[in-house]
Amino acid sequence: MNSNPADQKVNIITRIALLRLAVGLLGERDQSGWWASGFMSQTSSAFLAPVFGTRVLHARYQGVLEAARRVHDDRIGIGRVFHPFRLPETLEHRVFNAAGSGNLDLADAISSPESAWATLGKLEGKPVEAKSGPTLVGTAEMLDGPSWLADVASLYSVAFRARIQCFPYFKGIP
């Protein structure tokens, strides 16, 4: 593992973007149906390319992010809570920039449902039990470190496989 704190922060940011893309694809209408969007479908690029050109991946990311954010907000609420699709503002800015960087790892992560499953599998941590509905992961202070990513990836993976909707969230102010 890289011991440079700046490099670790970049790695965490990229992993958040990967988590969002994988969960975003797996939660869409053509997969699990958690949200009604189709931004990650194979045909979406044909519709987005004339408008966004080389920034199609970023447009797909922003579209699925908003679709997932709305469903999470509806189920969890808005206020003194955060979830993987609504993070503290400074973290949101860093993830936005990473998603728009054209990083090929991000494109590979969503090239198919199988690649999304593989990406989610790489992010997963220890086995967990996912329950339907909002699931408290911990406090918002956890968002400063990398440990929450594995827990959240595990929750989503178990929920998708069990065909239940689980919405991980964090409570408080970071």
- Spell out the per-residue pLDDT of the chain, length 174, in tens: 445 554 455 589 989 999 999 999 999 999 999 999 877 777 777 777 777 777 777 778 888 999 999 999 999 999 999 999 999 999 999 998 887 776 656 777 778 899 999 999 999 999 899 899 999 999 999 998 899 999 999 999 999 999 999 999 999 876
Closest among 171, 99, 91, 107 to 137, alpha carbons compared: 171
Report angle CA 105, 158, 43 to the nearest 5 degrees. 45
- Rounded CA gap, 24 and 45, in Å? 16
Look at the pTM and tell me if it is higher than 0.85.
yes
Distinct helix (H) and strand (E) counts, the chain: 7, 3
Tokens 């990836």 correspond to what residue? Answer: 153
Tokens 């189920």 correspond to what residue? Answer: 75
Tokens 């993976």 correspond to what residue? Answer: 157
